[in-house]
Structure 1
Amino acid sequence: MEQIDSFNVDHDRLKPGIYVSRKDQLGSETITSFDIRLKLANREPAMDIQAMHTMEHLGATYLRNSEKWGSRTVYFGPMGCRTGFYVIFHGDYKSEDIIELTKELFQFMANFKDEIPGAKRIECGYSLSHDLPMANFESKRFYDNVLSNLSDENLNYPI
């Protein structure tokens, strides 16, 4: 079986950041998948599942309600390794195209204090698995430590 592209990224050299994970063609349309990497792979603890679940709810809600990006948002969700999120947009983009959006998204999640959208038992498959304070913490940490100081090594996969 052929190995998928994301397994060919050198995770020992990968920094937290915003990366184009892949681009797919659906007919004449391009879909761009981004790797929003919050943690140093294999070098720091992965994010807590409850915090990630909350961030998934907040992130998907924020993006799908964005005036500019709502209709372009296909998916926002956690990586299985719990070191970041995938976000998929309809369109052909590079990492630089979503820097401001990503900053806005993580500021929103860092400062969110209301009821978590879609977290009621009737709305969510595991409504007990949420942690808003930790979601706030992880979002602020990523914003302060990475998004505020982006460089080329945070926007392009290591070669």
Structure 2
Amino acid sequence: MKKIDSFQVDHSRLKRGIYVSRKDTVGSEILTSFDIRTKLPNVEPAMEIEAMHTMEHLCATFLRNHDDWAKKTVYFGPMGCCTGFYMIFHGDYVSKDVVGVIQEMFKFMSDFNEEIPGAGINECGNYKSHDLEGARQEAKKFYKEVLSNLKEENLNYPE
């Protein structure tokens, strides 16, 4: 059985940050998957499902409406372990290429104080499972503690 690359990352040494998780070739095109790790794995408590669900809605909305990244956005969604998100862009990128848009996105979430996009009963499969204030707090924490002071260890998986 083939090993999964992300399971080979030493999560005991992984910092919070932005990492290239993988690059896939589809025809002649490259898709770059990013690991946006907002929590220290197995150290910090995982994100609450409701806050994470709201963050997913806000980030997907932000990216799909972004002037530069909307047409490059393939996917944004939560990790099953609730310690971060996966983001997939069409193109061949490194972590430093997406720092600006991720900073913008987390600032957007930190300041967001409107109705959660796509969170109604007709638009969402679990519309009762949202927490805007929790999402805002998670975004503020990650922005302040990580995104505003990125180092190489926050942009490259541990060797």
* TM-score under structure 1 length normalisation: 0.99
Q: Distance in 2 between matches of 1:99 and 1:136?
A: 19
| Stretches of 4+ aligned residues off by more than 6 angstroms | none
What residue is the counterpart of 1:115 in the other structure? Answer: 115
The aligned residue for residue 99 of structure 1 is 99
Aligned mates of 2:3, 2:41 — CA distance in 1: 19
1:143 lines up with 2:143 in the alignment: yes
Residue 123 of structure 1 deviates from its aligned partner by 0.4
User: Amino acid of the residue matched to residue 75 of structure 2?
Assistant: Y
The amino acid of 2:130's aligned partner reads H
CA positional deviation for 1:113: 0.3
| Counterpart secondary structure, 2:18 | strand
Distance 2:17 2:126 in 1: 29
Matched, 1:37 2:37: yes
- For 1:145 and 1:32, the matched residues in 2 are separated by 25
Q: For 2:35, what is the secondary structure of its paired residue?
A: strand
Matched with 1:25 is: 25
Could you say what secondary structure the match of 1:15 adopts? coil
CA drift of 1:79 comes to: 0.2
Measured against aligned partners, the alpha-carbon deviations of 1:12-58 in whole angstroms (never above 9, x if no partner) come to: 00000000000000011000000000000001100000000000000
CA distance in 1, matches of 2:3, 2:94: 23
Whether 2:75 is the aligned partner of 1:75: answer yes
Map Cα deviations across residues 98-156 of structure 1 (whole Å, 9 max, x no partner). 00100000000011000000000000001000000000000000000000110000000
Task: Give the CA deviation at 1:3.
Answer: 1.5
What residue in structure 1 maps to residue 6 of structure 2?
Answer: 6
2:90 partner amino acid: H
| TM-score after normalising by structure 2 | 0.99
Q: How far apart in 2 are the matches of 1:67 and 1:40?
A: 31
Report the equivalent of 1:65.
65
CA offset digits 1:37-94 (Å, max 9, x no partner): 0000001100000000000000000000001000000000000000000000000000
The AA in structure 2 aligned to 1:155 is: L
RMSD of aligned residue pairs (Cα, Å): 0.4
SS of structure 2 residue aligned to 1:85? strand
- TM-fit CA distance, 1:2: 1.4
Percentage identity across paired residues of the two chains = 65
Q: Which runs of 5+ in 1 are unaligned?
A: none
Determine the C-alpha separation between the residues in 1 that align with 2:122 and 2:7.
36
